[in-house]
Structure 1
Amino acid sequence: MTVAYTESAYPVPLKENGLIVEYKSGAHSHDIPQKTRDLEIAHMLELLKAKPTFNPNLKFDPKKHLVFKEEYYKTTTTATLEDLGITKTRTAPISGFAAAHPFPLISQEAVDMMLWEAFQPNVIENYARLPNSGLSKGTTRLDFHLGGHCRYIAPFTWDLYNSPEVSEIISNFVGVKLGPMFNSELGHMNVSLASLDPEEVKEIPQTKEDLLAKMEHLDKNKDDVPSSLGLHYDSGTIALVIMLDLGEGAVGGETGIVTGDDKMFRVPDPKIGYATLIQGIVLKHVATKPVSNSNRITGVTGYAAAPGSGKLDNCRNTSNKPSVLPRAIHTPYWSEWIEYRFKNLEAHLKQEREKVMERFAKGAEFDQLAMIDTIKEMEKYLHDSWKEMEAVHNPPYPPAEFNTPYQDLPDYE
């Protein structure tokens, strides 16, 4: 018996529901304006190229480009969900870890190379898009998302985020063996650029007093915080956020986290090459724009339970799928997602199969109830791999849970 889930193969997402109508054809209504490409992006590339030691063919070397030291595990301020007053979450957390304050991770040379790879004209054309108005707040032509390029045309960035050294650092903070997610969620960037247009600059607060007053207002009114993503939950388990550019004297630009008392906490003192970690799938948060005329560029990669860790990942598509996030190009995104989920399931199946035969070899009795639970978990994992696809799931965005206080969230499955 065939079950019909929808009236048509791909029901059209509605723009008035906060969704991207042309998500299957590249969301080109969200292309980066030519003015931004010719002015601010071209200027950034010229500045990088002008550095005396800059090498556009640089290869990633973890010994050279990772500056993390063992002592940072002790000196970095971290917080648990309990520390933040969060006792109820929208899905089961992977551990009690909530967030880590910025810690040194990569060198300036690595930062420059990641920016160089990302801001090439062909990358901007094919992999960068203005934000969805359903996600963003107070954005302009200078705010955009970029991603999905690393696997194909950004070898330095790809190697950095896939390095076992980075996965080990993150795993040690979180307390679970983690690995990077699929390409679309690896090395993507949230970009806010400083305007080089004199007329636009006149509209931005100039004095320190005015800038701080605006910040104070925003901290009291978290729903007004300007951002290309707005208040949201991640679809990936853990977000590694590396600051790649933050203009000198910038006011704002931190990662803001909503705490258990429904107030905004800004992760302090982001510096170039420093990384922040958050369990974004259960922490409501926002990547804030500077209120000053300043660059703010972060490199972000999603990490989740690694294949063979004994856990299946709990990733979702709510915020990241093409009908919501314009930079997520339909066929690459979904192909990479399914490859990711199937590979994880393959590793998990292999591990469970080996456990069964190990117990058999030892003469242990077969535990039917335990095996039923194991199979049900994998059955749910397969179901969760397709349940948010556009062919069957086009609800308005943002979902109600994004605006629901933690204590009012429904019990997760």
Structure 2
Amino acid sequence: MNAARSPLIRQYSRRLVAEILLKGEPISRADLARTTGLSKQTMSEVIGELEAGGWVRPVGTTSGGLGRSAVTFEIAADAAYSLGVDLGGTKISAALADLVGGIVAEATEPTDPRGGRHVLMQIRQLALRLAAGKGIDAGRIGSVVVGTPGVLDQESGAITLLPNIAGLSEIDVPAILAELFGRAVAIENDVNLAMLGEAWQGCAQGCENAAFLSLGTGTGLGLIVNGKLARGANGAAGEISYLPIGADLYSPEALAVGAFELEVGSHAIVRRYLSARGSGAESVRDVFARLEAGDPVAASVLDDVARSLALAVAALCSILDPEIIVMGGSIGMRPELLERVQAALPAAFARPVVVVPSLLGNRAGLVGALSSAVNSLHNALFGIAGLPGDLALPAIARAAE
């Protein structure tokens, strides 16, 4: 059937061709036809449509049989761009990627202390500076994803549970960002994005089922189940703070903050240390410094925390059966803690468990935001409208020059 006769067939053909071009080297129409199984006529129509739209361009020729040559094509990487943003209480990181997912510009700066709309305007200005620094028209930014440690209220657009940035719980964040960027802007939980980052460019590549367990001031969990980010019925999948692991599961504080967070978060580690020793630590950093100096109390505290973390990992494995669990966050990545968790696991779970530190470190959330933005742009340009199924991201993105 001629692709022009059916919008659905035309979309499907366009998707097939785009997915190959996004992942591979320059290729001719004839080779594309052989690879996809599409007819030469359909292939000519699809390439013509993509070339007319500016998404594909000819880049050379290849020799064929009997002295004939064929034009080769590639994705026009500079045709459109995606923006990923990692919004934190003390700093904002942003990165700009081209159409094939290559990072072309990246920057980090302190978060505007005035909060609220000032922070959202700061995100827009940061995007403009990144684009201008590479001579890119900001109008070609076709997709924007912002990661935040807070929770987005779908009805009001406010971001709650974000104590370090004032004012975002009082305004409609997506609406204001859409006004500033001239397009819809997606807001996503930062730990979910960290999971996506590890799946795209980190240690969870190729995993259909994986978890990102973040431990810092608080706790968080990002989940990929059957190749998709799991959000749950109310967007609360991964609220591991409320896992029933702790000394007093029914206290008002446990109900408000979460028993597990009270057991293993940064404040819990300091509290454990002070309870055992009485003084000598004002922060988690102090506890780790004491550990390095050979303090047996610090070692005992981290042993206890590791045992609680091992119970959480055992619960995750029992319910989700992930291929890998990635430990992240300022505390979760510490090798002194990770080694203790790995040592405690055999006593808590019968099967072997793969627990590894984040490969991307503090860039996991930013890389995840970028992966989500690039994926969204690919599906908007080359996906099949009204049907499920995302285009797969290119496995390796080019580094910034």
Which TM class, normalised by the smaller chain length? under 0.3
Task: Kindly name which structure, 1 or 2, has the bigger radius of gyration based on alpha carbons.
Answer: 2
Greater relative CO, 1 or 2 (CA 8 Å, sep 6+): 1
More strand by share: 2
TM-score (normalizing by structure 1): 0.24
